[in-house]
Amino acid sequence: MTNNGFHHGNAAGMRIHVLPTKAFKTFAISLYAGVPLDEDTVTPTALVPFVLRRGTATYPETTQFRERLEELYGAGFGFDVYKRGDYQIVQFRMDTINDSFVQSKESLLAESFAFLGDVLTQPLLEDGSFRPSYVATERETVRKKLEAIVNDKARYAAERCIEEMCRFEPYRLHPLGQRADLEGITPENLYQSYKSWLDGAILDLYVVGDTTPEEVEKLVKRHFGGDKSDTGAYSSKFTPVAVNEVRTIEEKLDVNQGKLNMGLRTSITYKDDTYATALMYNGIFGGYPHSKLFVNVREKESLAYYASSRYDGHKGIGTIQSGIEAKNYGKAVDIIRKQLDEMKAGNISDLELSQTKAMIRNLLSEIQDSAFEMISFDFNRQISGKDRSTLELIEQVEAIGAEEVKAAADTFQLDTIYFLTGQKEE
């Protein structure tokens, strides 16, 4: 058991994490399947859950699949595909009403496990592989999602900046894969990909609700009775990438508004004891409406339509996103770099410190109000190998002064400047 209240164990080749609580009227179930990001497998892996949600051996038609959820008192089912560090994660989610609130012959938790077990391990097969019509439709779904990124220029610029900055690392890959690879995916080779994905994935199953670790373990063995012997574990090995020079990339597309994105490298990651200082650094620099980027670039100088920063603690990367007039490129780069220098110089006001602490404290406190947020927070621990409660993180944040933020700032190095601009000459 950790200080986050979760009980941890293993069964049927997966790691199990249970938080027994009467605080919610529902059961929150999350199943994470993680594999290393890889050029050859990223696209089929992304496509697999789209096909799995179309039908199972028990509920082969998509309408039957949905009707089954209705029978479970309108249980929610969904999935996400994203990346954490250099891993591609597929997350399945279910939320089901607690048995004590309905007149149900069967345990709804058990029924939900049966359903999720079916989705993951008993997909609908025709002639020994996935149903061709499902594969064809879902290939189009993924293609459209990838095209939507290109059409949303702010998202596109953010992705391209990461692609350029991490061009020699798996992290450059988008978790939904690559459009060019979709053509070559057939029902047969996708089914083979699915089998090796399921066999190789690190599986973490979470349940939050009025249950016990013993009950969950029984249900896992009954409904996910896989033959995996090894649960596997995420590698939390991290090698900071040295920045030798700042690369600048300019790309021209048909855009009205320029997108200026920058990538930073830091040696601080989620598992470090100084993680809280990196959170504070990002918050003061560009994470919130009171941050230096927002106030100085957008409000004082009116140089940007938007300006903010993000920090990925699993990868040790900071990113800056801004939308500017193309003619203001030079000015915008200068003023953003000035804010980076201000952080390194430790020019941080008491007000910036207190406002940022309040924002982080609120975000961390709100985690307790949502079962899925609690699950997500604990999953960060599984990936990073760092056991840290929200309360401990809040206490660490509260204790940080300008000097500690300055020390964090010294680790953030500008690596890449990416500018997406219009094709028309100004």
Domain residue spans in the chain? 7-223, 247-422
CA distance 52 to 63: 14
Partnered with residue 259 across adjacent β-strands are: 323, 420
Cα–Cα dist 71/164, whole Å: 48
DSSP character string of 6-41: -EEEEETTEEEEEEE-SS-SEEEEEEEEEEE--TTT
> Domain 7-223 class?
alpha beta
DSSP for 45-107, written as a single string: HHHHHHHHTT-BSSS-SHHHHHHHHHHTTS-EEEEEEEEETTEEEEEEEEEEE-GGGS--SS-
Q: Round to the nearest angstrom and report the end-to-end CA distance of the chain.
A: 61
Report which residue type is found at 376: S
What integer pLDDT is reported at residue 426 of this predicted model?
Answer: 44
| CA 84 from centroid of its chain's CA atoms | 6
Spatial contact of 92 and 204, defined as CB atoms under 8 Å apart: no
Q: What pLDDT sits at residue 100?
A: 74
> CATH fold of 247-422, please?
Cytochrome Bc1 Complex; Chain A, domain 1 (3.30.830)
Instruction: Give whole-number Cα distances, 178 to 41, 44, 54, 141, 173, in Å.
Output: 10, 10, 22, 13, 8
Rg (CA), the chain: 23
Tens-level pLDDT at each residue, the chain (426 residues): 555 789 999 999 999 999 999 999 999 999 999 999 999 999 999 999 999 999 999 999 999 999 999 999 889 999 999 999 999 999 999 999 987 777 777 789 999 999 999 999 999 999 999 999 999 999 999 999 999 999 999 999 999 999 999 999 999 999 999 999 999 999 999 999 999 999 999 999 999 999 999 999 999 999 997 667 678 899 988 888 989 999 999 999 988 899 999 999 999 999 999 999 999 999 999 999 999 999 998 878 888 889 999 999 999 999 999 999 999 999 999 999 999 999 999 999 999 999 999 999 999 999 999 999 999 999 999 999 999 999 999 999 999 999 999 999 999 999 999 999 987 654
270 DSSP assignment: T
- The letter for the amino acid at 1 is M
DSSP 274: T
Q: How many CB atoms lie within 10 A of CB 231?
A: 15
Q: What is the pLDDT of residue 277?
A: 98
Tell me the two tokens of residue 387: 């056991």
In this structure, is the dihedral angle defined by the CA atoms of residues 110, 115, 121 and 127, taken in order, positive or negative?
A: positive
Sign of CA dihedral 199, 201, 378, 46: negative
User: What does the pLDDT read at residue 1?
Assistant: 54
Backbone angles phi, psi at 257, to 5 degrees: -115, 130
DSSP codes of every residue in 148-217: HHHHSHHHHHHHHHHHHHTTTSGGGS-TT--HHHHTT--HHHHHHHHHHHHHHSEEEEEEEES--HHHHH
pTM for the full predicted model? 0.94
